[in-house]
Amino acid sequence: DAGLGNGGLGRLAACFLDSLATLAYPAYGYGIRYEFGIFDQEIRNGYQVERPDDWLRFGSAWEVPRPQRVVPVSLYGRTEHVVEGGKQKVRWVDARHVMGMPYDVPIPGYRNGTVNTLRLWRARAAQELDLADFNAGDYLAAVEDRDLSENISKVLYPNDVTVMGKELRLQQQYFFVSCSIHDIVHRHVWRYKKTHPTFDAFADKVAIQLNDTHPSIAIAELMRVLVDEHELEWERAWKICQGVFGYTNHTLMPEALEKWSVDLFGRVLPRHLELVYEINRRFLDEMRSSGRVDEAAVQRMSLIEEGATKSVRMANLAVVGSRSVNGVAELHTDLLKKVLFKDFNQLWPEKFNSKTNGVTPRRWLLQANPELASAITEAVGPEWVTDASRLTGLAPLAEDAGFRRLFRRVKRQNKEKLAAIALAEHGVALDPDAIFDVQVKRLHEYKRQLLNAVRIASEYLKMKSDRSYRPHPRAYLFAAKAAPGYAMAKWHIKLINSIGDVVNADPATRDHLKVLFLRNYRVSLAERIMPAAEVSEQISTAGTEASGTGNMKFAMNGALTVGTLDGANVEIREEVGAENFFLFGMTVEEVEALKAKGYHPRERYYADPRIKETLDAIASGVFSPGEPGLFKPVVDALLDHDPYLVLADFAAYCACQDQVTAAYKDTERWNRMAILNVARSGRFSSDRTIRQYADEIWHLSPVRAEE
């Protein structure tokens, strides 16, 4: 629960560290040692309330501070171009200085003698106190300055996909990158000073994988270090950069595309702005003189966006400066090539590749679900822990009534444990015989928690009006943090809680329908939820979820997916078999066609009585007695805009959920399907993903620790 990330992107990195160490790859992770990680979420009267995550309050046993390895970082100031000994040189002067102090977190491999390092940087004041201020008698000003520097690693920005053009955020990115590049260069120079006194071998020995564009300023920083500090020629330095970096893109959402206004960028990083301009000038010249691309494409690929506010496009910098660009699932990579990076793909098709995400079976099966893990080990031997392809050995056991009984007993125990948490934490009694239907992930409109909520509301209304309609009891579980500034997402949390308040209290339905929003979704809670889940909700609008990784954790623990053809759902369905997956909804092509033709959500409302009845109920206060108009804005937004096509997919979703209910009636069949999901989830081990990165991008081999 060191909440040093927001959601899937950071958790993926954590799974990757586990796989890197377990496969004995010589690799480091780098990050920021935030004093406050992702906020703690409380729910008050159904609303999300954020509390600071003071995770270092009692110190951390899992970090080793390395004060002897502090690194100086410059920010602000200006550049001076001088001629020294007949050579053009650039000096970064009048800068503010901050120190980066490394804290090393050991990352042990699974019983293999390898321990890798996650190095987290903490910002410290360059000097304890500014002596000039101090001597002038301004003791307080001296201390305040100190605070300013240390603010850099104070708090994680809690937005999952939407970027915020905040100055402090740019400082964080550069601080982290500058410390890490310094570390990497220093290690190389130190280790190879005898054998390779130059940078000749740098690109052979070093690979840096950029986890989205947040650290992509590293490309300019490595140029600065090589050109300004080590006095390499531009061409040589650029060749090294292009041999070192790989860039992983994690989303197609336009609001995630990082752009920094040239003003802000140049103020915080004056030298880097010059370097970005120079990289761009050379790149655009090359494009224009190649005659391969027209002027419009040149403009689109430029690292600089012209317009009202001129800005630096970090994704374009990442693509131009990297040897490899990858998406995180097949579908996502296809869309990257076709849409987001179309021009670049035409130019450099060989740069683009796909690396479908994965999750570590050590945490998400062995540790989180020890009973199922034992049953698996009993059945196929212990090797699956580090070779997830062995899980296929379970497939024949889907036909074994005894194994199915065991599997069912384990699931039932896990459901009881989660029910105990629900009761203790929320006072809500879940029936362990109910279907545990789960949607846990960050709250975002594109993930469509609202689709799930509206259908639950419609189920409730149907039960109220038709006393004979009593499907198998279901417990709908949600957990999700909303970005504190994302008003609509917060309304969705409130709506889910309000629906829960009404349906859980209604004697007519409460034995058939439960809705619970679990507070403060985080890794430790996910470890309780995944093993207990039976239905995994992966219902994003096709073309919006890059991959998803929760979807993999659920399948690995034997939950059946209700899902759209989005992200890695496509590959999960391929792998587990279409007959063991509940598919619904529009495809990417259908989504595009509908948008092109013009989508009018209000027409769906008038055409489908179930939609109309449910939205009218929500808007008129059936779920907010006492505050009748409370959810009208949520409903209006659906009727007027519905950017993620909730209403367009609603009927298909309901029909699919009816199939789920029908399938659950046949317990033996359900368990067969669930076991096959586990058996065929091996491809979604992050070990497979990491091997692909190592073989296809980094050209890296394992280094076994000596006995």
* List of residues contacting ligand 8GP (CB under 6 A): 7-9, 12, 160-161, 212, 250-251, 256, 328, 357, 545-549, 567
DSSP state of 704: P
Q: How far is the CB of 332 from ligand 8GP (least distance, A)?
A: 8
Q: How far is the CB of 30 from ligand 8GP (least distance, A)?
A: 17
Please identify, using beta-carbon distances, which residue of 314 and 434 lies nearer to ligand 8GP.
Answer: 314
| Catalytic-role residue among 214, 415, 441, 573 | 441
Please identify, using beta-carbon distances, which residue of 499 and 546 lies nearer to ligand 8GP.
Answer: 546
Instruction: Give, in order, the Cα–Cα distances in Å from 384 to each of 110, 394, 572.
Output: 12, 11, 19
Please identify, using beta-carbon distances, which residue of 5 and 266 lies nearer to ligand 8GP.
Answer: 5
Number of H helices, E strands in the chain: 28, 22
Angle between helices 646-665 and 449-465 in degrees, nearest 10: 60
Q: Identify the three-state secondary structure at position 146.
A: helix
| Phi, psi torsion values for 252, nearest 5 degrees | -100, -5
Which residues, including other chains, have CB under 8 Å from residue 93's CB and lie 6 or more apart? Answer: 77, 78, 79, 80
Q: Is 272 a known active-site residue? A: no
Q: How far is the CB of 550 from ligand 8GP (least distance, A)?
A: 8
Q: How far is the CB of 106 from ligand 8GP (least distance, A)?
A: 24
| Catalytic-role residue among 182, 444, 553, 672 | 553
Rg of the chain over all Cα atoms, to the nearest angstrom: 27
Q: How far is the CB of 340 from ligand 8GP (least distance, A)?
A: 12
Q: How far is the CB of 566 from ligand 8GP (least distance, A)?
A: 9
Q: Is 259 a known active-site residue? A: no
Please identify, using beta-carbon distances, which residue of 12 and 676 lies nearer to ligand 8GP.
Answer: 12
Q: How far is the CB of 214 from ligand 8GP (least distance, A)?
A: 7
Q: Report the C-alpha dihedral over residues 518, 523, 528, 531, rounded to 10 degrees.
A: 120
Q: Is 250 a known active-site residue? A: yes
Q: Which residues pair with 92 in a beta bridge?
A: 79
Q: How far is the CB of 247 from ligand 8GP (least distance, A)?
A: 12
Q: How far is the CB of 461 from ligand 8GP (least distance, A)?
A: 32
Please identify, using beta-carbon distances, which residue of 270 and 543 lies nearer to ligand 8GP.
Answer: 543
Quick one: 598 exposed, middle or buried, by C-beta within 10 A (0-12, 13-18, 19+)? Answer: exposed
Please identify, using beta-carbon distances, which residue of 117 and 540 lies nearer to ligand 8GP.
Answer: 540
Find tokens 């802000």 and name the residue: 264
Please identify, using beta-carbon distances, which residue of 159 and 520 lies nearer to ligand 8GP.
Answer: 159
Quick one: 554 exposed, middle or buried, by C-beta within 10 A (0-12, 13-18, 19+)? Answer: buried
| Catalytic-role residue among 11, 224, 250, 512 | 250
Q: Is 689 a known active-site residue? A: no
* CA–CA gap between residue 686 and residue 90 (Å, rounded): 43
| Catalytic-role residue among 447, 492, 494, 522 | 447
DSSP state of 155: B
Which residues, including other chains, have CB under 8 Å from residue 591's CB and lie 6 or more apart? Answer: 541, 542, 543, 645
Q: Identify the three-state secondary structure at position 517.
A: strand
DSSP state of 481: P
Q: How far is the CB of 454 from ligand 8GP (least distance, A)?
A: 22
Angle between helices 270-290 and 314-321 in degrees, nearest 10: 60
One-letter identity of residue 59: G
Please identify, using beta-carbon distances, which residue of 328 and 335 lies nearer to ligand 8GP.
Answer: 328
b/e map of 284-321 (b: 16 or more CB within 10 Å)? beebeeeeebeeebeebbbbbbeeeeebbbbbbbbbbb
Contact assessment for residue 148 and residue 473, using Cβ atoms and an 8 Å cutoff: no
* CA–CA gap between residue 645 and residue 653 (Å, rounded): 12
Please identify, using beta-carbon distances, which residue of 213 and 671 lies nearer to ligand 8GP.
Answer: 213
283, 148, 169, 168: which is closest to 215 by C-alpha? Answer: 169
Q: Is 441 a known active-site residue? A: yes
Q: Is 549 a known active-site residue? A: yes
Please identify, using beta-carbon distances, which residue of 161 and 428 lies nearer to ligand 8GP.
Answer: 161
Q: How far is the CB of 329 from ligand 8GP (least distance, A)?
A: 8
H-helix or E-strand spanning residue 80: strand 78-84
* CA–CA gap between residue 609 and residue 536 (Å, rounded): 27
Long-range pairs for 182-190: beta carbons < 8 A, 24 or more residues apart: 182/71, 182/100, 182/225, 183/30, 183/69, 183/71, 183/102, 183/119, 184/208, 185/222, 185/225
Q: How far is the CB of 357 from ligand 8GP (least distance, A)?
A: 5
Tokens representing 681?
Answer: 């989830």
| Phi, psi torsion values for 120, nearest 5 degrees | -110, 135
Please identify, using beta-carbon distances, which residue of 336 and 654 lies nearer to ligand 8GP.
Answer: 336
* CA–CA gap between residue 84 and residue 88 (Å, rounded): 6
Q: Which residues pair with 115 in a beta bridge?
A: 108
Please identify, using beta-carbon distances, which residue of 459 and 687 lies nearer to ligand 8GP.
Answer: 687
* CA–CA gap between residue 218 and residue 77 (Å, rounded): 19
Q: Identify the three-state secondary structure at position 124.
A: strand
Please identify, using beta-carbon distances, which residue of 207 and 252 lies nearer to ligand 8GP.
Answer: 252
Q: Cα 14 from chain centroid?
A: 11
- Annotated active-site positions, please? 250, 441-442, 447, 549, 553
